[in-house]
Structure 1
Amino acid sequence: MFYSTESDLLARQPEISQFFAQQVNKALLTTTNGDLYYGYAIPEQPKAAIVISSGRIEGLDKYQELIWELFKNNYAVFIVDHQGQGRSYRALANPHKGFVNKFTDYADDLAQFDSQIVNTLYQGKKVMLGHSMGGAIAVDFLTRFKHNYSGVFLSAPMFDIYTKGTPKPLAKLAARTACLLGFNQCYALGQTDYLAYDFLNNDLTSSEVRYQLFRQTYQSDSILQLGGVTYGWLNAAFGFMSTLEQQQLTLPVFIASAENDTVVDNQAQIALVHRQNNAVLQTFAGAKHELLFEQDTIRQAVLSRFYQFCDSLN
C-alpha cells in the first residue's frame, strides 16, 4: 500500500493539485433545497468504491491528500460537500453560521447523491468512510435507506458532543430553550465566524504540516470557510444523537476512536459498539480528533486498519 507522508507532502503538492484539477471530476447535484458540490475519481480497475461522508467544516477541497492516496491505491472515490459545508449551498444569510433545519436532512441528501451519482457511475463493492459529523450522517443514511454498501468505517464519529466544562444536560437545555424562543439561527454561546486557530491551540491534529495545509486551503478561498454552530444546529444534532440508541446497523462497522478527542464524546462510540452485533472499535493512542489528518504514525495505523477492513468485506 502507498501511504502519503508528512516529509513528502509539501514536495508532492504540485502532483496532488494536478491530480485534483485533472482527474477529480466535479459537479453540482441539485436538491430541493439547493445545490450540493461533489467530486469523484475512478481508476481503470478499482478494487472498490470509497464514499466519503466528511465532518463539519470539511469538504472535497480539504480531502485532496486522502482522495489522491486512495486513488493511487486503486480505489474509486466519491465525496459530496454536505449542505452548509464547503462549496455546497448555505441556508442562512451569514454563510459562516453552522445551521441545519433537521439533522436528517444531511442523510436525505446523501441518499440522493448515492442513488443519482454513485450508483450511476459505479457498480461494485462500496464502502462508506465517515468522519465525525459525517459518521453520524452515515449511520443515519445506512439505517434509514435501502443501500448496497458492504461496510462502514467511522473515524471519530460524532455520536455525542464533548461539551468540555458545560454539563451535557445544561447544554441540551440551553439549545432547546434558545430554539423555542426563536434564536435557532443565532450562534450558540461562544461561537463566532470562521477563526483560524494557530497550530499550538488546535484540537484537531498533531500534524503541523497537514494542519497548515488545511488552513492555507481555507485562507486561499474564503467560500470554504465556516464558523461555529447555531442553536438550531446544536439542537438538531442533540435531538438526532438521542435516537442513536434505537439504531441497529445490519452491515460490518469499524470505529476508529481518537484517544485524546476533545470534539466528540468517545463514550457514545463505546456504547454504540456494545449495542451492535457486527461492530469493532479500536482506540488510537495519542490521537486527536482528525485521525485522517494526523501525524504519520497514527494516520498510517488508521489507514492500515481501513484497508484491512475493506479487504475483509464481500
Structure 2
Amino acid sequence: SGRRGTVCVFSGRGECIEKYFETVRDLRDRGFAVAMIDWRGQGHSARALRDFRKGYVRSFSEFEIDVEAFVQQIVLPDCPPPYFALAHSMGGAVMLRVAHAGKRWFDRMVLSAPMVDLPGSRTSFAARALLRVMRLTGQGGNYVPGGGASLVGTAPFNGNQLTSDALRYARNAALYQEDPTLGIASPTVAWADTAFAAMHGFRAPDYPARIRQPILMMAAGNDTVVSTAAIEEFAYHLRGGAHLVIPGAHHEILQEQDRFRGQFWAAFDAFVPGTAAFT
C-alpha cells in the first residue's frame, strides 16, 4: 500500500529475477511497487528443451505472449497503477515490439542498452542466412557456431563484456554457482535466428516513427554486446522518445559501478513521474 505505481522489470537474455534484487530495492526506495517475471526458457521458468542450459524460442512473439500474460494475470489485478516498464537488452527489444504493436499497458518505458542491433557485421545478411539454413536443416536446438555450454556470466571477471564492477560481477556469478538451473549458456540457433529477424525489423525506416509510447533509451558508451550507434539512431526517430549515452559504462548498466548507475537513476528519476524528482 502507499506505492506511487508499479515498475515492471524485464531482464535480458540469460538473466534471472534474483540478479535484480538490488534494482528492485532501488525502485522500492523510490516509492514504487515492483513486478517481475523470468522469461520462458531462462531463470526458473520452464525450458522448451531437455537441456536447461539451452534458452530456446520459436519466435520473439512468444516473449510478447509472456508480457501479455504477465500484465493481464498479475499486474492489472494485483499491482497499484500507474504502470511503467524497465527493460534491459533483449527485454528492451521485446518492449519495443510491444510498443510498436500498439499495446499501451505502460505509461512510460525505460530501456537499458536495448538490443536494437549488434555491433559490426554480426547481423549481416550472411550471418542471418547461415542461421536460417541451420534452422531449416533441423539444427535449431544446437548452440550457435562457436557457442558452448558454459553459463552466461560465470566466466572470469577479466575480459568480461558485461560490467566493470568486479564486486557486482562476482555477486551475480555466485547466483549461478549456487543454483546452476537459474542460468543459460550460449544462444541456440533458433533463438539467434528469431532475434536476428527482430533486429532486422527494427531497421525499417518507419519502425520507430510508428511507436507512440514515451520511451527513454539509455545506452552504454563501452558496450560491445549491443550496438550503441544503432540505439542512438533508433531513438533519434522516435516521436515520443529520448536517449542518453552513459560514457564508460559496459553493457549491463544496472550492474555497473555506482558512478554509472547514478547517471542511469538520475535520468530515470527525471523521466518517470512519481520518483523523487517529481515530489
What is the match of residue 186 of structure 1?
142
Structure 1 gaps of 5+ residues are 1-43
Provide closer, same or farther for how the CA distance between residues 276 and 167 of structure 1 changes in structure 2, counting only shifts above 3 A: closer
Shift of residue 296, structure 1, vs aligned partner? 0.5
Pick aligned residue for 1:222 from 173, 177, 180: 180
In structure 1, give the amino acid aligned to 2:17.
L
Provide closer, same or farther for how the CA distance between residues 123 and 71 of structure 1 changes in structure 2, counting only shifts above 3 A: closer
C-alpha distance in structure 2 between counterparts of 1:99 and 1:243, whole Å: 20
Is contact 1:104–1:240 with CA below 8 Å preserved after alignment?
Answer: no
Spell out, residue by residue over 1:29-52, the C-alpha distance to the aligned partner (whole angstroms, 9 max, x if none).
Answer: xxxxxxxxxxxxxxx211121001
Spell out, residue by residue over 1:257-276, the C-alpha distance to the aligned partner (whole angstroms, 9 max, x if none).
Answer: 00111111122212211321
1:11-90 equivalent positions in 2, closer than 5 A: 44-90=1-47
Is contact 1:151–1:251 with CA below 8 Å preserved after alignment?
Answer: yes
In structure 2, give the amino acid aligned to 1:242.
H
Query: What is the number of equivalent residue pairs in this alignment?
Result: 270
TM-score (norm 1): 0.82
Provide closer, same or farther for how the CA distance between residues 262 and 206 of structure 1 changes in structure 2, counting only shifts above 3 A: same
What is the match of residue 291 of structure 1?
253
Is contact 1:203–1:289 with CA below 8 Å preserved after alignment?
Answer: yes
Is contact 1:111–1:141 with CA below 8 Å preserved after alignment?
Answer: no
Could you say what secondary structure the match of 2:48 adopts?
Answer: coil
Question: Which structure is richer in relative contact order (CA contacts within 8 A, separation 6 or more)?
Answer: 2
Shift of residue 127, structure 1, vs aligned partner? 0.9
Shift of residue 98, structure 1, vs aligned partner? 2.4
Is contact 2:110–2:217 with CA below 8 Å preserved after alignment?
Answer: yes
Structure 2 gaps of 5+ residues are none
Shift of residue 312, structure 1, vs aligned partner? 7.9
Shift of residue 145, structure 1, vs aligned partner? 5.2
Identity of aligned residues (%): 31
In structure 2, give the amino acid aligned to 1:222.
P
Could you say what secondary structure the match of 2:158 adopts?
Answer: helix
Pick aligned residue for 1:259 from 221, 227, 235: 221
Spell out, residue by residue over 1:46-71, the C-alpha distance to the aligned partner (whole angstroms, 9 max, x if none).
Answer: 11210011101112111011112211
What is the match of residue 167 of structure 2?
209
1:239 counterpart = 2:201: no
TM-score (norm 2): 0.92
In structure 2, give the amino acid aligned to 1:263.
V
Pick aligned residue for 2:239 from 256, 259, 277: 277
In structure 1, give the amino acid aligned to 2:144.
A
Is contact 2:37–2:70 with CA below 8 Å preserved after alignment?
Answer: yes
In structure 2, give the amino acid aligned to 1:144.
A
